[in-house]
Amino acid sequence: MNRVTDEKAYRRRRFIAGALGLGALGGFSALRYGDGTVSAKQSEAPVVKAASEELVSEKTGERLTNKYAATHYNNAYEFGWDKNDPVEKSGLFQLRPWQVTFDGLCAKPGTFDIDDLMGMPFSHLEERVYDFRCVEAWSMVIPYNGRPLKDILRVVEPLGSAKYVAFTSVLRPEQMPGQASAFSTLDWPYVEALTIEEAMNPLTFATFGVYGDQDLPQNGMPFRITVPWKYGFKSPKFVVRITLTEERPEATWHKENSREYGWYSNVYPDISHPRWSQATERRIWSETDVERIPSRVYNGYADEVAHLYPGDRQQYR
Partner 1 sequence: MIRPLVHAGLALPALLIALAWQRHALGVDPQKALILETGIWTFNCLLVVLLMPIVSRWARWPALLKYRRAVGLWTFAYTSGHFIFFLSFYLGWDFPRLAEEIAERPYVLLGFAAWLTLAALAMTSTRASIRALGKNWKRLHTGVYLALLFASVHYLLMIRSDWSWPVAYAAIALFLLMARLRRARFMRA
Footprint of partner 1 on this chain (CB under 8 A)?
Answer: 10, 13-14, 16-18, 21-22, 25-26, 28-30, 32-34, 36, 38-40, 42, 45, 47, 68-69, 72-73, 77, 80-81, 83-84, 137-138, 181, 183-186, 256, 272, 274-275, 277, 279-280, 282, 284, 286-288, 290, 292
Provide the minimum distance between the beta carbon of 227 and partner 1 in the complex, in angstroms, as a whole number.
20
Q: Which is nearer to partner 1, 139 or 145 (CB)?
A: 139
Provide the minimum distance between the beta carbon of 3 and partner 1 in the complex, in angstroms, as a whole number.
12
Q: Which is nearer to partner 1, 26 or 202 (CB)?
A: 26
Q: Which is nearer to partner 1, 106 or 284 (CB)?
A: 284
Provide the minimum distance between the beta carbon of 252 and partner 1 in the complex, in angstroms, as a whole number.
10
Q: Which is nearer to partner 1, 7 or 113 (CB)?
A: 7
Provide the minimum distance between the beta carbon of 240 and partner 1 in the complex, in angstroms, as a whole number.
21
Provide the minimum distance between the beta carbon of 69 and partner 1 in the complex, in angstroms, as a whole number.
4
Provide the minimum distance between the beta carbon of 1 and partner 1 in the complex, in angstroms, as a whole number.
13
Q: Which is nearer to partner 1, 15 or 113 (CB)?
A: 15
Which residue from 40, 91, 96 is spatially nearest to 68, judged by alpha carbons?
Answer: 40
Provide the minimum distance between the beta carbon of 254 and partner 1 in the complex, in angstroms, as a whole number.
13
Q: Are 40 and 55 in contact (CB under 8 A)?
A: no
User: Cα-atom radius of gyration of the chain, to the nearest Å?
Assistant: 23
By three-state DSSP, how is residue 138 classified? strand
Q: Measured between alpha carbons, how far is 11 from 160 in angstroms, rounded to an integer?
A: 82
By three-state DSSP, how is residue 304 classified? helix
Q: Are 215 and 95 in contact (CB under 8 A)?
A: yes
Q: Measured between alpha carbons, how far is 67 from 214 in angstroms, rounded to an integer?
A: 13
Q: Are 237 and 168 in contact (CB under 8 A)?
A: no
Q: Concatenated DSSP letters for 216-262?
A: -GGGTTT-EEE-TTB-GGGS--SEEEEEEESSPPP-HHHHH-TTTS-
Q: Which is nearer to partner 1, 154 or 275 (CB)?
A: 275
Sequence letter at residue 154 = R
User: Where is 130: in which H helix or E strand?
Assistant: strand 126-133
Q: Is the peptide bond before 222 cis (omega within 30 degrees of 0)?
A: yes
Q: Which is nearer to partner 1, 282 or 313 (CB)?
A: 282
Provide the minimum distance between the beta carbon of 98 and partner 1 in the complex, in angstroms, as a whole number.
26
Q: Which is nearer to partner 1, 184 or 195 (CB)?
A: 184
**Spatial CB neighbours of 261, under 8 Å, sequence gap ≥ 6:** 135, 231, 233, 251, 253, 254
Q: Are 76 and 237 in contact (CB under 8 A)?
A: yes
